[in-house]
Structure 1
Amino acid sequence: MKVPASFLLLSAVATAQTVIESSSFGHGAMVAPSREGIPGWDIGGEGHFPQILSNKVILTPPYPGNTRGYAWSQTPLSQSEWAAEFQFRATGVERAGGNLQFWYAKDGKEKVGSASIYTVGQWDGFALVVDTHSGRGGSIRGFLNDGTTDYKSHRSVDSLAFGHCDYSYRNLGRPSVVRVKSTNSIFEVTVDDKPCFATDKVAIPAGNTIGVTAATPENPDSFEVFKVVLQTASSPVGKAPPVQAQNTNQQPRAAQPQGNTQQEQASSNNLGSINAQFVDIGSRIQLINHATNNIIRELGNQASKSETRQSELLQRLATKEQIQGLDARLQRMEQTLLSIQRDLEGKDYRDRFNQLHETLRSSHQSLTENLKDNVLSVITASTPRMGFFIFAIIAFQVLLAGSYVIYKRRRANMPKKFL
């Protein structure tokens, strides 16, 4: 049976996937042309600025903790059907923690920024969360929001997940590969080529922005992102029928070149895996050097602080001369007290006290007698005389009577007026 070439061409075009460059990084030879930034992406953080290396982006460092990092695409995704490949790695001590989010959100940088699923407010879109939920070894969960639910103030954010699967992602020594596919017919998530969860009831519109955020507690995990690749996708329309060989005699001839090709591919894959392991070891050594430099810097800061405190304490302490002067003063005070004690013990002051008591009593008695006489004489001398007082009253009455008589006489002698 012959298959038309036009049908094969249409099938290939229908199933072909094109990388969306504006929302992808890490699919080329290097993550970015320089360590200053990734073209088309906004990089930032809190307490730490993400480090851009040749093959990955370190969103949160292994030291210190309580840091956040984010990477947001500057261009919204115009395709309604897409497929994303997200490669990350998480390393840390035994009881370290943190969470990593893959976002497809509207106005992601403005509405989400560096927030995690537990600290974000009202947002619109899809979030894939990687963390150690409920004390398990690790899990991957999916969240949806239409902009009406405030996750930051919600009582139980974990109950809002619409899909999840268990996945131990910490300290694997290799990148974990997460793929998200969103089409009109299905929404599915796979981890390391194994299905995580899928549903046909979710359809996310176009116009949202791709982003990655990470947050760590006091004992942090180091989250590294190797690749974020967005590709166009389409709903499955069925597989093309297999092409039947026209000449069976050519099959034995083609078998040997195919075997050689498989051997070459296997050897190239081995070389690629070895190179990837070397790159991984180099990146780990860089992380160890970075953490060691941070520890040495902190130790140097602590040493300088200790020296400063020691110098301040030495300045506050008394000098040898001051201590000697204080000792001399104490010795003089001790000698004075001893001399006073000897005087008090060697002399009898009873007669002196009796004389003092007698003197005070005689002084008090004489003062009391003199005070009585003086007070009586002062009162007597200052008392007004009664004769003078009576004379003044009588004189005033006589003066009033004389004035009245004179007034009557003058009035009687005045000429009378007749009307």
Structure 2
Amino acid sequence: MHFTTPLSSLASASAFFFAYAQASYLHNELSFGHQDRISPNLRAIPNWHLIGKPDPPEILSNKLVLTPPAPGNQRAAIWSEKPLQHQYWAVDVDFRATGPERAGGNLQMWYVKDGQNAVGTSSIYTVGRFDGLVLVVDQYAGSAGYIRAFLNDGTTDYANHRSIDSLAFGHCEYSFRNLGRPSRVAIQQSSTGFKVSVDGHLCFESNKVKLPLGNNFGITAASADNPDSFEVFKFVTTTESHTPDIQDPAQQGSQQILGSEMHGRAEDKPKGDIPAYSDPPDEAASKYTSSNEQFADLHNRLQSMMKQISASTRDATHFSTQMQKTTELLAERLARIEASLGELHSLRERIDAIQADVRQTKSDLHNQLDRHVANIQGEVRNTHTNLTGKLEEGSGIGKFIVVVVGSQVVLVGAYLLYKRRKTGNHMKYL
């Protein structure tokens, strides 16, 4: 089979863009801690701004100490100087919290507009109005630890809200204090939705959250009177594309929560996963007389082709993700079935062994009972023989009768003699 030149170019471009969409690029200007040292001079972190009240954060060779072990009531923050201009991205944050038994504090990871000025060193309970996302790590409601996510479009004043905890749209339990190792929180915004993982395990995810471009990353921490020490080892930002994306005007200003309205719009679209784009109409080549017209037509057609390729890539990525999840689920279920079969086989072997033991015990009991009965019969037989011999050797029944009758005669004679003597005695009177 031979392809024409345009079709071959289209296939090559498709493969290139598919591989390009799957790539992950490190964003150095929005990352720190991924190299040997956090800071080249231990005084500042390139492309990041540090804030602390009353004391600034302490920069060490391999970590940033936001709140020290002592004293308490400290607030600190680190903010990126440049905003993120990519639609799909992922962030990995390695942190550690240590402190005495009843210490307290919280850590926030922000993706908000103008975070340094709008948030500063505030926590979720003191921030006021902000535009973006925040993940909160604290001991919510007296628990061992929680990770909760909050959204705001700049209209809700969190500092004056009556029930901030009720505004969380996602959460999971996570005991983060005194683990003796860094904890890793992974935040991902992809074409399939928003996802948060902790130590490689899914915390929560949502396909209704889409964050805008142009926000700043930041981390804030606050300690109580009995303080927890929060340390950050790494903040790594990766994107799916190397070049910045063009900001959609409809996304300017705040994140979009894809609710019922977006669901209704999706139902109005044509069926199928690939969006319907209007292709440029076919025109005769003689219509384009100048190079500018030819270039414009070529540009429009290439742009339409790129949109189709991009849509196909997104659908392929989504399908691949769904297939991977399904495969993992099937593999997990098969593993459980195999484990259950193994347990059944082991149980069958145990039952067979128990049956063999019961049979052996039954046989031993029967043998012992037979021997015992035989011994009793032998003893009875010997006793009967000995008793018969003794009776034969002893006196007969006649002698026994003579002895009995003779003793009776002697008793009667003695009685008569006694009566006669009593009758023959004369009574004496005074």
TM bin (shorter chain):
0.5 to 0.7
Please tell me whether residue 152 in structure 1 is matched to residue 165 in structure 2.
Answer: no
1:320 aligns with none
Aligned 8 A contact 2:192 2:318 in 1: no
Q: Give the alignment of 1:334-349 within 5 angstroms.
A: none
Please tell me whether residue 114 in structure 1 is matched to residue 115 in structure 2.
Answer: no
Cα deviation, residue 36, structure 1: 0.7
Please tell me whether residue 80 in structure 1 is matched to residue 87 in structure 2.
Answer: yes
Cα deviation, residue 85, structure 1: 0.5
Cα deviation, residue 98, structure 1: 0.3
**One of 62, 66, 70 as aligned partner of 1:63:** 70
Cα deviation, residue 12, structure 1: 3.3
Measured in 2, the distance between the counterparts of 1:11 and 1:189 equals 25
Cα deviation, residue 10, structure 1: 4.5
Measured in 2, the distance between the counterparts of 1:137 and 1:208 equals 31
Please list the CA deviations of residues 255-288 of structure 1 after superposition, one character each: whole Å capped at 9, or x if unmatched.
xxxxxxxxxxxxxxxxxxxxxxxxxxxxxxxxxx
Q: Give the AA of the match of 1:136.
A: S
2:48 aligns with 41
1:105 aligns with 112
Cα deviation, residue 238, structure 1: 4.4
1:213 aligns with 220
2:101 aligns with 94
SS in 2 for 1:22: helix
**One of 178, 194, 206 as aligned partner of 1:199:** 206
Q: Give the AA of the match of 1:196.
A: C
SS in 2 for 1:158: helix
Q: Give the AA of the match of 1:192.
A: D
Aligned 8 A contact 2:78 2:219 in 1: yes
Q: Give the alignment of 1:12-411 within 5 angstroms.
A: 12-233=19-240, 236-239=317-320
Cα deviation, residue 5, structure 1: 8.7
Measured in 1, the distance between the counterparts of 2:23 and 2:190 equals 14
Measured in 2, the distance between the counterparts of 1:190 and 1:143 equals 16
Cα deviation, residue 233, structure 1: 3.2
Cα deviation, residue 47, structure 1: 1.8
Please list the CA deviations of residues 154-205 of structure 1 after superposition, one character each: whole Å capped at 9, or x if unmatched.
0111111000000000000100011000123210000000000000001111
Q: Give the AA of the match of 1:183.
A: S
Measured in 1, the distance between the counterparts of 2:152 and 2:191 equals 18
Give the 3 Å change call, closer, same or farther, for CA 48–118 of structure 1 in structure 2. same
Length-normalised TM-score, structure 2: 0.53
SS in 2 for 1:45: strand
Please list the CA deviations of residues 219-251 of structure 1 after superposition, one character each: whole Å capped at 9, or x if unmatched.
0100000111111038634449xxxxxxxxxxx
Q: Give the AA of the match of 2:232.
A: V
Cα deviation, residue 134, structure 1: 0.3
Cα deviation, residue 6, structure 1: 7.7
Q: Percent identity?
A: 53
Please list the CA deviations of residues 364-391 of structure 1 after superposition, one character each: whole Å capped at 9, or x if unmatched.
xxxxxxxxxxxxxxxxxxxxxxxxxxxx
SS in 1 for 2:210: coil
SS in 2 for 1:103: strand
Give the 3 Å change call, closer, same or farther, for CA 7–203 of structure 1 in structure 2. closer
Structure 1 gap segments, 5+ residues each: 241-419
SS in 2 for 1:26: coil
Q: Give the AA of the match of 1:231.
A: T
Measured in 2, the distance between the counterparts of 1:56 and 1:193 equals 21
Larger Rg: 1
SS in 1 for 2:130: strand
Measured in 1, the distance between the counterparts of 2:85 and 2:77 equals 22
Q: Give the AA of the match of 1:60.
A: T
Cα deviation, residue 92, structure 1: 0.2
Aligned 8 A contact 2:96 2:176 in 1: yes
SS in 1 for 2:166: helix
Length-normalised TM-score, structure 1: 0.55
**RMSD (Å) for aligned C-alpha atoms:** 1.7
